[in-house]
Amino acid sequence: RKEVEQDPGPFNVPEGATVAFNCTYSNSASQSFFWYRQDCRKEPKLLMSVYSSGNEDGRFTAQLNRASQYISLLIRDSKLSDSATYLCVVTLGFKTIFGAGTRLFVKA
């Protein structure tokens, strides 16, 4: 079983749609959780941190469920510019584990 698993997609959605990504992690001792965004052929960049209380940044909402060991990312009112791969990231001590990513295509 992979340490961090994501649905690879791709998710194809129209502009304005709401889309949700899930990520599961295998080690219950994992400490910190993040979503990174990676545009095609570009480097990953931090999108947002994920907290148990949930956190929101504009159209993006991230949630952590420690009991079920999953993380979610919700994107509301999708824009063409949201098209990218979204990487789930989990840390365990000094170890940082990246999921393989979920691809999103937003269509006009």
- 28 Cβ neighbours under 8 A, 6+ residues apart: 66, 69
DSSP label at residue 99 = -
- Residues 38-77 contacting other proteins, CB under 8 A: 41-46
Distance between CA atoms of 108 and 104, rounded to whole angstroms? 13
Q: Look at strands 102-107 and 11-14 and give their pairing.
A: parallel
Least CB distance to other proteins at residue 13 (A): 22
Contact residue for other proteins among 68, 81, 93, 108 (CB under 8 A): 93
| Residue with the two structure tokens 């999708």 | 78
87 binds other proteins, rule: CB under 8 A: yes
Candidate segments 16-24, 31-39, 50-58, 71-79, binder of other proteins by CB under 8 A: 31-39
Which tokens go with 61?
Answer: 């909402």
Asked if residue 51 lies in contact with residue 37, where contact means CB atoms within 8 angstroms, the answer is: no
Q: Which is nearer to other proteins, 17 or 92 (CB)?
A: 92
Binding segment toward other proteins, per CB under 8 A, in 20-28, 62-70, 72-80, 86-94 = 86-94
Which residues form the interface with other proteins (CB under 8 A)?
4, 8, 31-32, 34, 41-46, 87, 91, 93-96, 98-101
